[in-house]
Structure 1
Amino acid sequence: MATTQTQRLGILAALALVMAATRVHLSLFHHDIWDASWGVFFLAGFWLRGTGRWAFPLLMAEAVLVDYLVITRMGISFWDHYCVSLGYWFLIPAYGALWMGGSWLAKHQRGITLSTLGMAIAVLLVSENACYVISNGSYYWLSAHVPAPKSFGAWFANLGDWYLPFLETTAVYVGLGAVLHVLVTQLGRLAHSGQVQH
C-alpha cells in the first residue's frame, strides 16, 4: 500500500493506464484484451485506501470518458448506445463496492500470509457479486433495450449468462495485482534489510 503522495499518484496513474488500455477493447495479437475496470477499482481500493475522496472520482471520470470516446467514435450518440441507460449511473455504486472491498481488505489484512489470502478471496467474491448484481440489475430493470415484460426469472437467467466471465476476468487482474504486490513488498524488505546491515 502506498505511503507517500508520490507513490499514490504513481499507482493511480498505472491503474488508470491499465483501465484505459483495456476498456477500449483494443486488439493485441488478434485477441481482445479483457476489460480490467473491475480489477482496477478493487486494487485501487486496496493500494490507495484513504484516498477515495479524490482517487475514486478520478477513476470513475476516466471510465465514463473512455466509454464516451469509444461510443462517439463509432458515430453513435453516447445516450443512444445499447449499453448506456439510466442504469449506467449505477456503475458508481457498483464500482464503489469493489473499491470498498479492496479498502476493507487493506485495513484488515495481516501481511503476506495464508489467512490474508483466504480473506482476500472471500472479500473479492463478495465485492464482485455486489458489483455484478448492482450493474447487471440496474441495466436489466432500467434499460429500454431489455424487452418487456421483465421478470425476476428472466433477470436471474440473464445474471447467469454473464456471471462467470465477469468474475474470472476480475480475479485474473486482481491475482496479477496480488503477485505484483508480493514482489514489491519482498523487494522492499530485502532493500531495507540490506540498508540496515550496512
Structure 2
Amino acid sequence: MREGGHTLFPTAIGTCGIAWGPAGVVAVQLPEADAPRTRARLLKGLPPLPAVDQPPAAVQAAIAGVQALLKGEARDLLEIELDMAKLTPFQRQVYAIARAIPPGQTRTYGEIARELGDVGLSRAVGQAMGHNPFAPIVPCHRVLAAGNRPGGFSAGGGAVTKLRMLAIEGALEPDLFDGEGR
C-alpha cells in the first residue's frame, strides 16, 4: 500500500467505502443514505486521498473480506492491516479487544471496560466505539449496552443497522428485535 486512496464498493447492506495509506487502512465507512454521503463521511477528517478504481491487492482483499462478512460469512478480518497512528492508546486497546470478538458473538461495553481493568470506563468504551473509523473491520456492532440492548451506533441507520449486522452474523437473541421487556 505504497500510496493512499479511497474507493466505494457494494455490499449486501449497501455501498461502503474504504480509504488507505502507506501503513494500511485508515478508514472504512458503512453505508449512508447514498454513495456521495458515504464518500463524504469516509473522507471527513482525512488528508486528500484520490478515488481509485483498482485498489492495491491488500485493499482488494480487505474489500472482499468486508463483503463476505456482510453477506453472512463468519469472518474475523484480523488479517487486515489498520493504520491506527492517529488514535489514542485507549482507542487502540478498545479496538484490539473488539477485534477479538468472534463473528456471531457479542460483548457489552461493561465487559470490555472490565477487561481494561475498570468497569467505570464503560462510557469511554462506548465513546471509542462511536468514533470507530474501521467498522466493520473493528466490529463495534458486536458491542452491546448493558442488558444486551443494542445501544448506539454511529453508522447510517443507527441501531437498526447494528441489529441488521448482528442478524446477518446470527448473533441476535430473538428478543433483541421485538423490543419486549424494554
Structure 2 length-normalised TM: 0.33
The answer to which structure has the higher strand fraction is: 2
Higher relative contact order (CA 8 A, sep 6+): 1
Structure 1 length-normalised TM: 0.31
Q: Which has the larger radius of gyration?
A: 1
